[in-house]
C-alpha cells in the first residue's frame, strides 16, 4: 500500500504534521524511534531540564480550544510538564494510532519510476510513500563525547540527551559533569544539591543568567488573555517567535549609564531574548556586543566568590548570542559551594577516561558517576543519519558534505517530494521553535494541497533557487557576530563537520513573508511535474543584501514623499535630517575643517588624517547628491572609514551646487580644489605627488572629469581614481535604469530631477558632464570603478570601466551583488558593504605602492 506522507519523528513537529495532514485528508503515518511521543522532551529527562522560551509562547497555537484547556504551572515548564502536554495533544487528536513507536528509519530512497519513496526501518519493514518528511528534530542526535577511553569507565555514566526513565539518585556520590552548555548549566545546580562531590569539566564557558522562574506572570497572562489570536499573530511576525518590542537605537549611541540601565532591566527580565533585543546592533556589531559581554562577565564576577573560578567561567572566545545563551537557576552560585569545583580543560586538558574516573594532563580524578552534557550533532545530524538517496541514487549525506544546501530550509534539489521541518537554512534553533514548526507544517500542508488540486506529482527546488537561498542564508549570517564563534550553529562542536552557519538568522517574521512570497509567486524556484506536464517558475526569492532590504523597509515605513516632488530647499533639509543619528564611523587621528580657494570663491573642506605617522598620501573626495544636495560633511562616516583603512589623508571638499550654480561650476570647483590640494600637499601633511581621486555618485562624476582635466592640463599628477557608483553619462536607456529605476532609493525620476537642476540639455553630452563621452580616454590614471547591482547607474559605471579598459587604462571593476546606490557609503548601516569598502581602501593603498594595483577588468554582473 502506498500512503501519501511518511513523517519521521513524534515531537512538537511530527505531532502537528500528523494532525494537520490527516485533517486535510492525506493518508499519513509517523515513525518514531522513542517509545512514545515527545521528541526532545521524551529523551532529555536530566535533572533541571526545562524550556527557556516561556511556556505560554512555547506551545501550539493552532487550536484555541487546546490553548484554553491547557494551563502552564510555571513560566518555564519542566521537562515532565512539557512531556505531559505533548502526551495530552497526542490523546486529544488521537494521534498515537498513526505513529509507529520504537522504530528507527534507517534509509529512504526515491523511486523515480514509481514516483514514491521507499523507506526502510530497523524492523526490516519497507513503507511506500509519495512524500517523505523529516520532522526528526534539530537537537535529537546526541553527540558522542570525543574523549578517549569512554568504554573503559566502570562507574555509572549518563548522557543528558538520553537520560534514564527511572529516577537517578546522586546522594553521597562523587559526580563529574562534562560540558557546560544548556543541559550542563541546567543540571549542575540540582546534581550539586545531591552529590557529595561535584566536579565540572568545562571546555568553553557560556553566557548564562538567572531565569527568575516562577508562576506565569500576571503581565504575561494579561498580554496573552487580552487577545490570544493577536498575541500569536504578533509572535508569528516577530524576530524570534515571541512578541517583543525591539529597540531601534544602537548600543554605542547610548550613554554608559543608559546602557547599564537597559542591561540591568534585560538581566532582571529573565527573558532569553532580552539582551539580543536590547539594542538594534547587539547581534551585528562586535563593539556593541562586547558591552553586553562585559556586563554579563561582571555579573559572574559579582556572584562567584573565588576570583580564579569566576574568570574561568567568563566567556571570552565568542560574542554574546553567537553560542546559544542559557538561562539558569543558581548556576554560578553553585560554584560557591565547598563540594563543587571547576576544572578548566583549556588549561588542564582531558587526557582520558579511566576505569575509575577521568585523567587530565595534570591530575587523576575518581568518580562514582559521570554525566556527559556534551550536546548534539545539531540540525543536519539526524537528517543525514538516515541513508537518504534521491534521484539517480544521489546521497543526501554526500550532497551536504560541504554544508547543507536547501531551498528555504524545506527542500533540496535532487530529492523530489522530500521536506524537512525546521531544516537547515530556516530560523529553527534561532527561534521559538513551536512557532517555526507550525509555520513549516502549515506551508508544507498548503503546498501538498496545492499539488493535489493541480494534479501535480512531484516537487523539487531548482539549482538556481537553492543556490540563491544558500547565498542569502550566508549573507544574513555574515553581517552578524554569529559566524565568528565555534558553536554548534556552525557545526563546530562535531569533529570533521564542515563549518557553515546552519540556521537562517533573518528572523521569523521576515522568513514567513519570504515563504509566503514563494507560494504566491506560483511557487517560485520550485519545479513540479504532473499528469498535465511539468511546470516551473525559476528565480531567486531574495536578491537584495539582507541589511539593504531592512533599510528599504525602514525608509518605506517612514512614508516620505519622493525627493523629486520637493523643492530644492526641502530636499536639502530632508537630506540633512536623514543624517542625524547615523553611526559616526570610526575614529581617525585628526579632523580639520577649513577652506580652500575654489573656481569662484572659497570652498569648505574637511581633512581626515590617519593616526599613523605621516606624511601620508592624499585622497581627494567628492560627495554625492546629484550636484544639488549634500556637502563636504555628508559622507563623513565613509570618509572616516576610508581614511582609517587606506591610511591616507582624505580631503572631502565642497563644490558649488545646482541649481544656484549650474554646470560646469561643480567641475570647475572640483578641479580648482584638486590643484590647490596638490600644490599644498606638504603643508597639509601629505606626501608631495602622492595624490588620488575618489567620489561617489555625482562626486564620482566630478572625480572622473577632474582626472580627464588633469591629464589634459598635464597637472596635477594623479596616481589613481576610485569611482563609486559614478554618473558617467546622461543616457536613461540602459538596462539598469529599466531594472532598477524605482524602489531602490535612487530612482529614474530623481536622476532626471538632478540632471534638470544641473545642466541644460545641450550641455549634458559635454564630456565634462558625461565623461563617458570623452573622445579619448587614453592616459588616464588607474581606476577602480565600483557599481551596485540594484543601482540605475550600474550600467554606465560598467560602460565607463569598459571604455577605460579599451583605452588601455589600468582598471579594476568591482560589482556589488545585492547592493543599492547608497550601500557602500552607509558605514555601519549596510554592513554587507564592508567587504567592498575594504577593497576600495586596498585599491587606494595600491595606487601608491607600485605594482599592487592589479589590472583586472571584470564584468561580473
Ligand X SMILES: Cc1cc2nc3c(=O)[nH]c(=O)nc-3n(C[C@H](O)[C@H](O)[C@H](O)COP(=O)(O)OP(=O)(O)OC[C@H]3O[C@@H](n4cnc5c(N)ncnc54)[C@H](O)[C@@H]3O)c2cc1C
**Nearest distance in Å: CB 240, ligand X:** 9
User: Does residue 668 touch ligand X according to CB under 6 A?
Assistant: no
**Nearest distance in Å: CB 202, ligand X:** 18
Q: Which stretch binds ligand X (CB under 6 A): 138-146, 187-195, 528-536, 626-634?
A: 138-146
User: Does residue 430 touch ligand X according to CB under 6 A?
Assistant: no
User: Does residue 6 touch ligand X according to CB under 6 A?
Assistant: no
User: Does residue 87 touch ligand X according to CB under 6 A?
Assistant: no
User: Does residue 203 touch ligand X according to CB under 6 A?
Assistant: no
User: Does residue 8 touch ligand X according to CB under 6 A?
Assistant: yes
Q: Which residues contact 65 (CB under 8 A, 6 or more apart)?
A: none
**Nearest distance in Å: CB 846, ligand X:** 49
Cα angle: 797, vertex 802, 805; to 5 degrees: 125
Which residue from 84, 104, 301, 773 is in contact with ligand X, where contact means CB under 6 A? 104
Between 42 and 605, name the residue whose CB sits nearer to ligand X: 42
Q: Which of these, 235, 642, 231, lies nearest to 427 by C-alpha position? A: 235
Cα distances from 346 to residues 60, 176, 187, in angstroms, run 41, 17, 22
Which residue from 58, 85, 159, 638 is in contact with ligand X, where contact means CB under 6 A? 58
Calpha distance 704→709 (Å, rounded): 9
Q: Which residues contact 148 (CB under 8 A, 6 or more apart)?
A: 351, 352, 353
3-class SS string, 571-628: HHHHHHHHHCCCCCCCCCCEEEEEEEEEECEEEEEEEEECCCCCCEEEEEEECCCCCC
Calpha distance 301→307 (Å, rounded): 7
User: Does residue 525 touch ligand X according to CB under 6 A?
Assistant: no
Return the SS3 of 430: helix
Question: Is 292:278 a contact under the CB 8 Å cutoff?
Answer: yes
Reading the block at residue 691, the C-alpha cell is: 595624490
Q: Which stretch binds ligand X (CB under 6 A): 255-263, 429-437, 572-580, 703-711?
A: 429-437
Residues in the chain: 861
Helix (H) or strand (E) holding 707: helix 698-713
User: Does residue 314 touch ligand X according to CB under 6 A?
Assistant: no
β-bridge partners, 50 = 78
User: Does residue 40 touch ligand X according to CB under 6 A?
Assistant: yes
Q: Which stretch binds ligand X (CB under 6 A): 8-16, 631-639, 708-716, 806-814?
A: 8-16
Which residue from 4, 7, 19, 32 is in contact with ligand X, where contact means CB under 6 A? 32
DSSP letter at 376 equals B
Q: Which of these, 853, 840, 726, 849, lies nearest to 791 by C-alpha position? A: 726
Calpha distance 342→313 (Å, rounded): 9
Q: Which of these, 335, 403, 415, lies nearest to 117 by C-alpha position? A: 415
Contact pattern for ligand X over residues 118 through 137, marking x by CB under 6 A: -----------------xxx
360-419 binders of ligand X (CB under 6 A): 382, 386
Between 209 and 250, name the residue whose CB sits nearer to ligand X: 209
Calpha distance 399→460 (Å, rounded): 15
User: Does residue 49 touch ligand X according to CB under 6 A?
Assistant: yes
User: Does residue 789 touch ligand X according to CB under 6 A?
Assistant: no
User: Does residue 422 touch ligand X according to CB under 6 A?
Assistant: yes
User: Does residue 42 touch ligand X according to CB under 6 A?
Assistant: yes
DSSP letter at 78 equals B
**Nearest distance in Å: CB 651, ligand X:** 53
Reading the block at residue 551, the C-alpha cell is: 533599510
Cα angle: 713, vertex 719, 724; to 5 degrees: 100
377 phi, psi to nearest 5 deg: -85, 90
**Nearest distance in Å: CB 321, ligand X:** 15
Reading the block at residue 744, the C-alpha cell is: 531602490
User: Does residue 139 touch ligand X according to CB under 6 A?
Assistant: yes
Total chain residues near ligand X (CB under 6 A): 37
Q: Which stretch binds ligand X (CB under 6 A): 3-11, 489-497, 555-563, 837-845?
A: 3-11
User: Does residue 33 touch ligand X according to CB under 6 A?
Assistant: yes
Calpha distance 291→259 (Å, rounded): 8
User: Does residue 14 touch ligand X according to CB under 6 A?
Assistant: yes
Cα distances from 9 to residues 139, 275, 296, 844, in angstroms, run 12, 33, 37, 56
Q: Which stretch binds ligand X (CB under 6 A): 5-13, 664-672, 677-685, 719-727?
A: 5-13
User: Does residue 140 touch ligand X according to CB under 6 A?
Assistant: yes
User: Does residue 183 touch ligand X according to CB under 6 A?
Assistant: yes
Between 39 and 726, name the residue whose CB sits nearer to ligand X: 39
User: Does residue 105 touch ligand X according to CB under 6 A?
Assistant: yes
**Nearest distance in Å: CB 200, ligand X:** 18
Between 206 and 646, name the residue whose CB sits nearer to ligand X: 206
Q: Are strands 126-134 and 418-420 parallel, antiparallel or unpaired?
A: parallel
Which residue from 7, 9, 87, 403 is in contact with ligand X, where contact means CB under 6 A? 9
Binding site for ligand X (CB under 6 A): 8-14, 31-34, 39-40, 42, 44, 49, 51-53, 58, 104-105, 135-140, 182-183, 382, 386, 421-422, 432-433, 437
Amino acid at each position: 500500500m502506498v500512503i501519501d506522507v511518511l513523517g519521521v519523528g513524534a515531537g512538537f513537529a511530527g505531532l502537528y504534521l500528523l494532525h494537520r495532514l490527516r485533517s486535510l485528508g492525506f493518508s499519513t503515518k509517523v515513525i518514531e524511534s522513542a517509545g512514545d511521543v515527545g521528541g526532545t522532551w521524551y529523551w532529555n529527562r536530566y535533572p533541571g531540564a526545562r524550556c527557556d522560551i516561556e511556556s505560554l509562547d512555547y506551545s501550539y497555537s493552532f487550536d484555541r480550544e487546546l490553548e484554553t484547556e491547557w494551563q502552564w504551572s510555571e513560566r518555564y515548564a519542566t521537562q515532565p510538564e512539557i512531556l505531559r502536554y505533548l502526551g495530552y495533544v497526542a490523546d486529544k487528536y488521537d494521534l498515537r494510532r498513526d505513529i509507529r513507536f520504537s522504530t528507527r528509519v534507517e534509509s529512504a530512497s526515491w523511486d523515480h519510476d514509481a514516483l514514491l519513496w521507499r523507506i526502510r526501518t530497523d524492523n526490516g519493514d519497507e513503507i511506500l510513500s509519495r512524500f517523505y518528511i523529516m520532522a526528526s528534530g534539530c537537537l535529537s542526535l546526541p553527540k558522542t563525547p570525543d574523549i578517549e577511553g569512554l568504554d573503559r569507565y566502570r562507574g555509572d555514566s549518563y548522557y543528558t540527551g538520553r537520560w534514564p526513565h527511572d529516577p537517578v539518585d546522586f546522594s553521597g556520590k562523587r559526580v563529574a559533569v562534562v560540558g557546560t552548555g544548556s543541559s550542563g548549566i541546567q543540571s549542575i545546580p540540582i546534581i550539586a544539591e545531591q552529590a557529595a562531590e561535584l566536579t565540572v569539566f568545562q571546555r568553553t564557558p557560556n553566557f548564562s543568567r538567572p531565569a527568575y522562574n516562577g508562576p506565569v506572570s500576571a503581565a504575561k497572562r494579561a498580554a496573552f488573555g487580552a487577545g490570544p489570536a493577536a498575541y500569536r499573530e504578533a509572535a508569528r511576525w516577530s524576530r524570534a517567535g515571541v512578541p517583543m518590542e525591539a529597540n531601534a537605537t544602537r548600543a554605542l549611541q547610548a550613554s554608559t549609564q543608559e546602557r547599564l540601565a537597559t542591561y540591568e532591566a534585560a538581566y532582571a527580565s529573565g527573558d532569553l531574548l532580552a539582551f539580543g533585543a536590547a539594542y538594534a546592533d547587539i547581534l551585528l556589531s562586535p563593539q556593541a556586543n562586547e558591552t553586553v559581554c562585559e556586563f554579563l562577565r561582571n555579573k559572574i564576577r559579582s556572584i562567584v566568590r573565588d576570583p580564579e573560578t569566576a574568570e574561568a567561567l567568563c566567556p571570552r572566545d565568542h560574542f554574546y548570542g553567537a553560542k546559544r545563551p542559557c538561562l539558569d537557576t543558581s548556576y554560578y552560585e553553585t560554584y560557591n559551594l565547598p563540594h563543587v569545583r571547576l576544572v578548566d580543560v583549556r588549561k588542564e586538558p582531558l587526557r582520558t577516561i579511566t576505569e575509575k574516573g577521568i585523567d587530565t594532563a595534570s591530575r587523576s580524578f575518581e568518580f562514582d558517576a559521570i554525566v556527559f552534557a556534551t550536546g548534539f550533532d545539531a540540525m543536519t545530524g539526524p537528517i543525514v543519519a538516515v541513508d537518504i538517496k534521491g534521484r539517480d541514487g544521489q546521497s543526501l549525506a554526500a550532497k551536504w558534505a560541504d554544508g547543507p544546501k536547501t531551498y528555504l530550509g524545506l527542500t533540496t534539489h535532487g530529492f523530489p517530494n522530500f521536506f524537512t521541518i525546521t531544516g537547515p537554512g530556516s530560523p529553527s534553533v534561532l527561534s521559538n521553535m513551536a512557532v517555526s514548526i507550525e509555520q513549516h507544517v502549515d506551508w508544507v500542508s498548503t503546498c501538498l494541497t496545492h499539488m493535489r488540486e493541480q494534479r501535480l506529482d512531484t516537487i523539487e527546488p531548482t539549482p538556481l533557487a537553492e543556490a540563491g537561498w544558500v547565498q542569502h542564508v550566508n549573507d544574513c549570517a555574515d553581517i552578524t557576530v554569529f559566524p565568528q564563534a565555534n558553536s554548534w550553529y556552525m557545526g563546530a562542536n562535531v569533529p570533521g563537520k564542515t563549518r557553515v552557519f546552519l540556521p537562517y538568522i533573518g528572523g521569523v517574521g521576515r522568513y514567513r513573508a519570504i515563504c509566503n512570497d514563494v507560494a504566491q509567486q506560483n511557487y517560485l524556484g520550485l519545479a513540479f511535474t504532473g499528469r498535465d506536464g511539468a511546470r516551473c517558475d525559476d528565480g531567486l526569492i531574495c536578491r537584495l543584501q539582507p541589511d539593504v532590504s531592512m533599510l528599504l523597509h525602514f525608509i518605506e515605513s517612514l512614508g516620505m514623499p519622493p525627493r523629486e516632488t520637493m523643492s530644492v530647499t526641502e530636499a536639502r533639509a530632508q537630506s540633512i535630517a536623514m543624517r542625524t543619528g547615523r553611526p559616526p564611523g570610526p575614529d581617525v587621528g585628526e579632523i580639520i575643517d577649513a577652506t580652500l580657494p575654489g573656481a569662484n570663491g572659497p570652498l569648505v573642506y574637511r581633512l581626515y588624517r590617519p593616526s599613523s605617522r605621516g606624511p601620508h598620501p592624499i585622497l581627494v573626495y567628492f560627495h554625492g547628491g546629484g550636484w544639488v544636495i549634500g556637502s563636504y560633511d555628508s559622507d563623513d562616516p565613509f570618509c572616516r572609514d576610508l581614511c582609517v583603512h587606506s591610511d591616507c589623508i582624505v580631503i572631502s571638499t565642497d563644490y558649488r551646487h545646482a541649481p544656484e550654480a549650474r554646470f560646469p561650476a561643480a567641475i570647475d570647483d572640483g578641479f580648482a580644489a584638486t590643484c590647490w590640494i596638490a600644490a599644498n600637499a606638504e603643508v597639509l601633511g601629505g606626501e608631495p605627488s602622492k595624490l588620488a581621486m575618489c567620489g561617489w555618485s555625482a562626486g564620482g562624476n566630478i572625480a572622473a572629469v577632474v582626472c580627464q582635466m588633469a591629464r589634459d592640463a598635464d597637472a596635477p599628477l594623479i596616481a589613481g581614481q576610485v569611482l563609486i557608483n559614478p554618473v558617467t553619462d546622461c543616457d536613461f536607456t540602459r538596462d539598469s535604469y529599466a531594472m532598477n529605476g524605482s524602489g531602490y532609493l535612487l530612482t529614474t525620476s530623481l536622476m532626471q530631477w538632478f540632471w534638470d537642476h544641473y545642466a541644460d540639455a545641450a550641455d549634458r553630452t559635454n564630456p565634462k558632464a558625461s565623461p563617458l563621452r570623452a573622445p579619448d580616454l587614453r592616459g588616464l590614471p588607474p581606476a577602480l570603478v565600483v557599481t551596485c547591482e540594484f543601482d540605475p547607474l550600474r550600467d554606465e559605471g560598467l560602460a565607463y570601466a569598459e571604455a577605460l579598459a579599451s583605452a588601455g587604462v589600468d582598471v579594476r571593476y568591482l560589482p556589488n551583488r545585492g547592493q543599492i546606490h547608497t550601500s557602500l557609503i552607509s558605514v555601519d548601516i549596510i554592513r554587507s558593504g564592508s567587504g567592498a569598502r575594504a577593497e576600495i581602501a586596498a585599491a587606494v593603498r595600491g595606487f601608491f605602492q607600485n605594482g599592487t594595483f592589479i589590472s583586472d577588468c571584470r564584468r561580473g554582473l
